[in-house]
Amino acid sequence: MQIITTHKNTDFDALASAVAATLIYPDAIPVLPKNLNPNVKAFLSIHKDVFDIHMQDEIRLSEVKRLIVVDTDQWDRLDGMEELRRKDDIEIILWDHHPLRGDIRPNQVYREAMGANITLMVRQLRKKEVGLTPIQSTLFLTGLYEDTGNLRFPSTKSEDAHAAGYLLEQGADLGIIGSFLRQPYGEKQKDVLFEMLKTASRVQVNGYKISFGKLEISGHVGNLSVVVQMYREIVNADAAFGIFVNKKQGKCMVIGRSVSDTLNIGLIMRSLGGGGHPGAGSAMLKSANPAAVEEMIKELIEGNQQSSVRVSDLMSFPVITVSPDTKMKEVAMLLREKGCSGFPVAKDEKLAGIVSRRDFRKLRKESALNAPVKAFMNTRIITVEPGKSPVYATQLMVKHDIGRLPVVKDGRIIGIVTRSDAMNFFYDLLPN
């Protein structure tokens, strides 16, 4: 029997190296220590079916003839392998990138000071012309980035960067890497986390356990996403949000983390003008009232379109409309005069289309300015009812990439909601 193993508190470089070793030694079984770094654990919990990983207690050490050790050369960093240390009929192969020598005496060694161990193994895989899947490439690049601090640690060698380029060519997914690599957690982050925990609350929203941590911060605190991630773990919620207000800069940073498959943080953050993935996302708001942000998020989770504030509360009215027969040059004058970027086109209060500055690009000749607006207007119109929530209106604008939403009641246009109306609502709330 041949086994591959690596160090305790297994990090991504170690896991990547163990998986890479299975490609170099196809008959060897990867055996991981019980103790894995939390982010590696998280990665494996999703990818466990992809890699045929074994635990140390599933293996009969007496049958091991060949031991392949990656990313360490010290016996005491291995887990449960003492028995092998005393065996003399065993072949040991070592792959390590640490410059200092440990106490494992290998029969065969691949050792070179390198930013990441996986770089050494990628070199071998390329030499052997072993193709990589995108998932393998993603894992390998995660290990490479983690051990080299995204290629910024002084230990990084040019070959690490070349290997990173190769792994990207093989389909490594940077989005996935970003969501698994934990950023540094230092004193500042600890202070923020402890402050948040003092006021931690957990509420039920739409069947989810949600926690909000609100905090005023001054100056720059990096890696708040790590803090929110840890916060969520500690309060044990389905999703957690950190709302960080920087009064001096007049900004508010919202960071969310979710472990629920059905609670998409990215969508919520997009509705707040930010973005992200299903599990993680953030948004930066101008001056904000944290209580209002919390309400907004709750409402988004609720999916409740019947909020206390309605579209009718923030729409502009009366609406300036033009008739379908208005000439384009008159529309142009009106746009300038009113300082608008577009108008609904309506006949007898019935919406027929929308014309905006952009539509003027369709005009090929000067004479077209005498043509009626109905020839150039956009007839694919998205409207909203006055009783809907501002969140719903904003979602429509985001989804259809439109800047103004006519408010229609009984087929008649009674107002319009623009991006700036929505932004006023999101960032400053409505005046009472």
Select the residue interacting with Mn ion from 10, 117, 138, 395 (CB under 5 A): 117
Select the residue interacting with Mn ion from 147, 160, 238, 294 (CB under 5 A): 147
Q: How far is the CB of 55 from Mn ion (least distance, A)?
A: 21
- Closest CA relative to residue 159, chosen from 112, 228, 191, 223: 112
Q: How far is the CB of 52 from Mn ion (least distance, A)?
A: 22
Select the residue interacting with Mn ion from 53, 71, 322, 393 (CB under 5 A): 71
In whole angstroms, what is the distance from residue 123 CA to residue 11 CA? 20
Q: Which class for 338: exposed (0-12), middle (13-18), buried (19 or more C-beta within 10 A)?
A: exposed
Q: How far is the CB of 69 from Mn ion (least distance, A)?
A: 12
Residue 13 binding Mn ion, by CB under 5 A: yes
In this chain, which stretch among 11-19, 80-88, 233-241, 283-291 interacts with Mn ion, using CB under 5 A?
Answer: 11-19
Whose CB is nearest to Mn ion? 13
CA distances from 153 to 138, 181, 219 (A): 20, 15, 26
**Sign of the dihedral through C-alpha 153, 159, 162, 164:** negative
Q: How far is the CB of 7 from Mn ion (least distance, A)?
A: 8
In whole angstroms, what is the distance from residue 15 CA to residue 340 CA? 57
- 148 or 271: whose CB is closer to Mn ion? 148
Residue 299 binding Mn ion, by CB under 5 A: no
- 147 or 238: whose CB is closer to Mn ion? 147
- 14 or 92: whose CB is closer to Mn ion? 14
Q: How far is the CB of 66 from Mn ion (least distance, A)?
A: 22
In this chain, which stretch among 6-14, 222-230, 274-282, 355-363 interacts with Mn ion, using CB under 5 A?
Answer: 6-14
The torsion defined by the Cα of 173, 176, 177 and 182, in degrees rounded to 10, comes to 170
Residues in contact with Mn ion, counted by CB under 5 A, come to a total of 4
DSSP state of 306: -
User: Where is 398: in which H helix or E strand?
Assistant: helix 390-400
- Closest CA relative to residue 378, chosen from 396, 351, 398: 351
Q: How far is the CB of 312 from Mn ion (least distance, A)?
A: 60
In this chain, which stretch among 58-66, 143-151, 290-298, 340-348 interacts with Mn ion, using CB under 5 A?
Answer: 143-151
Q: How far is the CB of 17 from Mn ion (least distance, A)?
A: 7
- 10 or 264: whose CB is closer to Mn ion? 10
- 7 or 214: whose CB is closer to Mn ion? 7
In whole angstroms, what is the distance from residue 102 CA to residue 98 CA? 9
Tokens of 261: 């498959």
- 15 or 254: whose CB is closer to Mn ion? 15
User: Where is 216: in which H helix or E strand?
Assistant: strand 208-216
Q: How far is the CB of 134 from Mn ion (least distance, A)?
A: 22
What is the CA 289 to chain-centroid distance, rounded? 24
- 71 or 73: whose CB is closer to Mn ion? 71
Q: How many CB atoms lie within 10 A of CB 22?
A: 18
Report the Cα–Cα distance between both ends of the chain, in Å, rounded.
75
- 7 or 310: whose CB is closer to Mn ion? 7
- 20 or 252: whose CB is closer to Mn ion? 20
In whole angstroms, what is the distance from residue 238 CA to residue 261 CA? 10
Residue 72 binding Mn ion, by CB under 5 A: no
Residues 6+ apart with CB under 8 A from 375: none
Helices then strands, counting H and E runs in the chain, come out as 15, 16
Q: How far is the CB of 45 from Mn ion (least distance, A)?
A: 22
In whole angstroms, what is the distance from residue 424 CA to residue 244 CA? 19
Residue 160 binding Mn ion, by CB under 5 A: no
- 71 or 421: whose CB is closer to Mn ion? 71
Q: How far is the CB of 95 from Mn ion (least distance, A)?
A: 10
Q: How many CB atoms lie within 10 A of CB 254?
A: 27
Interface with Mn ion (CB under 5 A): 13, 71, 117, 147
